[in-house]
Amino acid sequence: MKGKPLYIAVCAFVVITTILMVFFVNRVSHKARTVVGYQGRKIKGESARAVIKETKDYQTKEEAERGFMRQEIIVKITSGKFKNQEVVIKNTFRSMAFRVETNRIYRVKDRVTVFIQYSNNKIARVFIENTVRDDTLLILVSVFFILLILNQWG
């Protein structure tokens, strides 16, 4: 009985800290920055969130035989200085290659983070960086916290 308040306080601290880290990391990662691209070139731009509005899958017969897939993806940017703009992204990957985040088929309504390369406040190129998973992470943290409390009271 004596340890229950301390146990609940520690659990609450873990959950609150995790939630704050999720939001803090998202805010920091969406700032303007320079990344190193192909052959060591420095690319200036910023990260933003986007939602996939439309996709078109296509490939030639030769590409299919070699395991390549291509997509034309239309995304709507939902954060940052280019908010509400729609852009087209070419997604090419080899299905038999290493399993990395960008080596996948995207679907309509997928939420992603994109890196926007720009010059003179005009978008030059856009790349998909990652899939947004905040909601899933927050649900998992909530379930974890609820299970901890039930375990203590059970």
List, for residues 55-89, the tens digit of each pLDDT value.
998 777 777 777 777 889 999 999 888 999 999 99
Domain count, the chain: 1
Q: State the pLDDT confidence band at 12, using cuts at 50, 70 and 90.
A: confident
50, 83, 45, 68 alpha-carbon torsion, rounded to 10°: 30
Task: In whole angstroms, give the CA distance from residue 110 to residue 95.
Answer: 19
Q: State the pLDDT confidence band at 112, using cuts at 50, 70 and 90.
A: very high
Task: In whole angstroms, give the CA distance from residue 64 to residue 94.
Answer: 9
For position 17, what pLDDT does the model report?
83
Supply the range of the domain harboring residue 70.
4-153
User: Strand 42-58 relative to strand 111-119: parallel, antiparallel, unpaired?
Assistant: antiparallel
HEC letters along 85-148: CEEEEEEEEECCCCCCCCCCCCCCCCEEEEEEEEECCEEEEEEEEEECCHHHHHHHHHHHHHHH
Residue, of 16 and 154, whose pLDDT is higher: 16
For position 67, what pLDDT does the model report?
72
Least reliable range by pLDDT among 40-44, 64-68, 145-149: 64-68
For position 18, what pLDDT does the model report?
77
Q: Which residue is it, tokens 């229950």?
A: 4
